[in-house]
Amino acid sequence: MASLVRAGVSFLERSVEVAPLRPALSAGLPVRLRNVAKFFGSRSVLQDIDLTIEPGQFVVIIGRSGSGKSTLLRLLAGLETPDAGDVHLGDDASPGRLRVMFQDGRLLPWRRVIDNVALGLPKAERGRAATALQAVGLADRANEWPRVLSGGQKQRVALARALAANPRLILLDEPLGALDALTRLEMQGLIEDLWRQSGFTAVLVTHDVAEAALLADRILLIEDGGIALDLRVDLPRPRRAGPAVAEIEAQILDRLLGGSRRAA
């Protein structure tokens, strides 16, 4: 009984902090890559990438720096074009189908917080900006300049901007990399909550193994321009650090660090 009450209370706390963006209804966007390759000059960054992501899946791409993981994300975003193969994002060509959240936030310093969130929204839908800002818990900062916000708050605004158009795919390019540990944990919880409410497909690039184990339905380890490990994670959410999560982390680390760790 007591645990039931506690569960109820914690649920309430959560729902107070995060106003629902809208009921889970829109299907996420499916993603399909076939034989994708990318070169920078003569250097091959990605080769023979075959990948199908189901609608609504939370996929985490992990790898060392320079492994090509960010390039893969940029290919999905359409910021790079593949040199071979093709990238197919369902049959949706609307401008609001996908959004990107960048590591450095990229807020326009000359627009107030609320206008940053509304960037690119059609006039009739500008009301969504306020809803999105409320969803990330920053409704009271709507009329501030971005420069007065903390790093974590700026990333919340960037997240709200990504959410405002109700995209079916959100690409997150190491969005929490520059945040302190505590803020990062908070943001991970927030991203997971919003993803569960909205049902978009999420692709997160990170080099943080713990983050991958906490958030992913599926972890893709990129090494030397290819997918070296494709790991499904079927743990109940929300996850907390524990033996099950630790085991996933160990599995990824083993693969990342290769023989050197096993030998030690």
Partner 1 sequence: MAVTQLAARASESPHPPASARQAPPSPASGRGVFWGRLGVTTWVVPILLLLVWEALSASGIVPQRKLPSPHSVALAFWQLTRSGELPRDVFVSTLRAAVGFAIGGGLGFAFGLAAGVSRLAENLFDGTLQMLRMVPHLALIPLIIVWFGIGESAKVFLVAVGVFFPIYYNTYHGIRTIDAGLLEMARIQGLKGFDLFWQVIFPGALPSIMVGVRYGLGIMWLTLIVAETIAGSSGIGFMTMNAREFMQTNVVLLGILLYAALGKLIDMAARRIEKGALAWHPSFAQA
Q: Residues interacting with partner 1, by CB under 8 A? A: 77, 79, 95-96, 98-100, 102, 104, 106, 108-111, 119-120, 145, 147, 161, 165
Return the structure tokens found at 116. Answer: 């940053």
103 phi and psi, to 5 degrees? Answer: -60, -40
Identify which of residues 194 and 256 has a Cβ nearer to partner 1 in the complex: 194
CA dihedral for 234, 208, 242, 18, sign (positive or negative): negative
Query: How near is the Cβ of 237 to partner 1 at its closest, in Å?
Result: 28
Place of tokens 């009921």: 23
Integer-rounded Cα Rg, in Å, for the chain is: 19
Query: How near is the Cβ of 12 to partner 1 at its closest, in Å?
Result: 34
Cis peptide before 238 (omega within 30 of 0): yes
Query: How near is the Cβ of 123 to partner 1 at its closest, in Å?
Result: 11
Identify which of residues 147 and 262 has a Cβ nearer to partner 1 in the complex: 147
Query: How near is the Cβ of 94 to partner 1 at its closest, in Å?
Result: 9
Task: For strands 226-232 and 218-223, give the pairing.
Answer: antiparallel
Q: Distance between CA 156 and CA 148 in Å, rounded?
A: 14
Place of tokens 């209370």: 9
Report the DSSP beta bridge partners of residue 99. Answer: 170
Identify which of residues 157 and 212 has a Cβ nearer to partner 1 in the complex: 157
Query: How near is the Cβ of 161 to partner 1 at its closest, in Å?
Result: 7
Return the structure tokens found at 76. Answer: 């999905």
Residue 115, SS3 per DSSP? helix
Identify which of residues 98 and 256 has a Cβ nearer to partner 1 in the complex: 98
Query: How near is the Cβ of 101 to partner 1 at its closest, in Å?
Result: 10
Return the structure tokens found at 37. Answer: 């390759």
Report the DSSP beta bridge partners of residue 226. Answer: 223
Identify which of residues 99 and 218 has a Cβ nearer to partner 1 in the complex: 99
Identify which of residues 110 and 263 has a Cβ nearer to partner 1 in the complex: 110
